[in-house]
Amino acid sequence: MRQTCNSDGGVGSTENVKARGITIFSIFVDTPTAAPNPETKLLADFKKDTHLSKVYLAGREYLNEEGQTSVSPLIGKIMQQICTDPTLCPEYPSSVGLPEFTRRATELVLGRDCHAIVENRVLGVQTVGCTGAVRLGAELLKHWYNVRGVWCGPVYLSSPCDDSLAGIFEAAGIQDVRRYRYWDTEQRGVCVQKMMEDLEMAPEQSVIVLSASAHCPTGSDLSQKHWRLLTQLMVRCRFFPFFLLPAQGLCHGDFEQDAWPVRLCASLGMELLCAQSFSHSFGLYGERVGHLLCVLKQSSTLLAVQSQAEKQVRALWSRPSVGGARVVATVLSNPAHHVEWQEGVKSMVERGILVRERLREKLRLLGCPGSWDHLIQQGGLYCCTGLNVQQVEFLEKRRHIYLHPNGCLNVSAINSRNLDYVAESIHLALTSVF
């Protein structure tokens, strides 16, 4: 077969495929293999592991006591209803998504009586999951933060943070991504002072990415007192807050409390972005139900900003998929469903708290060195154990327990069947590896 030749030759690597005496280069010959996604590799290693007691604690999904993801019977019932509803139209939704969904998602974060909503200066855009929301927010900032020229940052991310975040901003063309200190390994908590120090040094108009609650991956959050200090700093330095709220309700079992920092900033008249996800709180991961909230200072800018958001969306994914958003909108619009759903989320949180308490107790009984109070002080899906890289490796290689390299784990993946083994293993790691 004749083939097009890459006349650039291929710097470094040459792939010679001789067919009928013709040297053929693929046009992709210079495409290098991308570094594997660390999460993918970890999961692949786990799957290959044949050890009977193996435990995977590095997943992104909430698991029930049986170790499964699940949706509540309410969600199942609503999906059935939607499936058989003859009035629902298979048409293209608008680029900003289903209006009922964006309305409810906005109210959930800000509260129905929020001034910004009443004054019509809030934009809500349905997105493809939280990633889609962050990407869209990044694109909006890139294009419009500084109308006079292309804005390239800086954006500040917490250290540590979700490992895909930096890449999302870079993909949007924002190369200047920096870190602020957040998790202190010794204190096993948030190092507020260091965080403030780092932010004081940031240039004016920096964008600061903040976790509203249930910080990923540490589970450690700021107190309300510290949020007040932080917002004062942000106003003074003219920073722009970009909140992450992937699991509202799953931190404290209280939707208002989990969104409190966002409401605080809105009440202070600040402009902000907030990326939301309904994956965890509805168990609808595959459906990619996300939302980008944009609170503006003036209602006069709303239509223009919305038109630009639509423009960005049209070239990314055109319009979002509606299935999951319909379910969420149906629940949030119906008071009885809403209550039932909230109760379901509360019981997920209660189970998480129970796991944390039992783990801490078990570690105490084993005489495990160090303080383990941080386990119960943290909230949400994730927990940062404070184990170092060597100890994490020990857990993986010798005990077949898989954590993130940074020592963080998914609390919901621990259950009554594996708790003892996990606790014993952590104890072993701490007492035999330093």
Partner 1 sequence: MSIFAEVPQAPPVAVFKLTADFREDTHAQKVNLGVGAYRTDDCLPWVLPVVKKVEKMIVEDNSLNHEYLPILGLPELRSAASKVALGDDSPAIKDGRVGAVQALGGTGALRIGAEFLRRWYNGTNNTATPVYVSAPTWENHNAVFSDAGFKDIRPYHYWDGAKKGLDVTGIMDDLENAPEHSIFVLHACAHNPTGTDPTPDEWKTIAEVMKRRKLFVFFDSAYQGFASGSLDKDAWAIRYFVSEGFELLCAQSFSKNFGLYNERVGNLTVVAQDKDNLARVLSQMEKIVRTTWSNPPSQGARIVAITLNNPDLFIEWKGNVKTMADRVLLMRDQLKAKLIALGTPGTWDHITQQIGMFSFTGLNPKQVQYMIKEKHVYLMASGRINMCGLTSKNIDYVAESIHETVSKVQ
CB of 386 closer than 8 Å to CB of 407: yes
SS3 at position 431: helix
Q: Residues 389 to 428: which contact partner 1 by CB under 8 A? A: none
Say whether residue 29 binds partner 1 (CB under 8 A).
Answer: yes
Say whether residue 67 binds partner 1 (CB under 8 A).
Answer: no
Backbone angles phi, psi at 123, to 5 degrees: -105, 135
- Please tell me the total number of residues recorded for the chain in this structure: 434
Binding mask 110-149 for partner 1 (x = CB under 8 A): ------------------xxxxx--x--------xxxx--
Contact stretch for partner 1 (CB under 8 A) within 75-83, 220-228, 356-364, 384-392: 75-83
Q: Residues 163 to 202: which contact partner 1 by CB under 8 A? A: 164, 167-168, 170-171, 173
Say whether residue 92 binds partner 1 (CB under 8 A).
Answer: yes
CB of 144 closer than 8 Å to CB of 296: no
Q: Residues 222 to 281: which contact partner 1 by CB under 8 A? A: 240, 271, 279
Q: Which one of residues 281, 312, 410, 418 is an interface residue with partner 1 (CB under 8 A)?
A: 312
- Binding-site residue total for partner 1 (CB under 8 A)? 87
What residues contact residue 196 under an 8 Å CB cut-off, 6+ apart?
Answer: 229, 230, 233
Say whether residue 291 binds partner 1 (CB under 8 A).
Answer: no
Residue 393 CB neighbours (<10 A): 15
Task: Report the residue number, 79 or 419, with the smaller CB distance to partner 1.
Answer: 79
Task: Report the residue number, 375 or 413, with the smaller CB distance to partner 1.
Answer: 413
SS3 at position 240: strand
Say whether residue 90 binds partner 1 (CB under 8 A).
Answer: yes
Distance between CA 402 and CA 367 in Å, rounded? 23
CB of 316 closer than 8 Å to CB of 122: no
Tokens of 114: 């929020």
Say whether residue 318 binds partner 1 (CB under 8 A).
Answer: yes
CB of 316 to partner 1, least distance (A): 6
Is the dihedral angle over the CA atoms 82, 309, 204, 163 positive or is it negative?
Answer: positive
Say whether residue 26 binds partner 1 (CB under 8 A).
Answer: yes
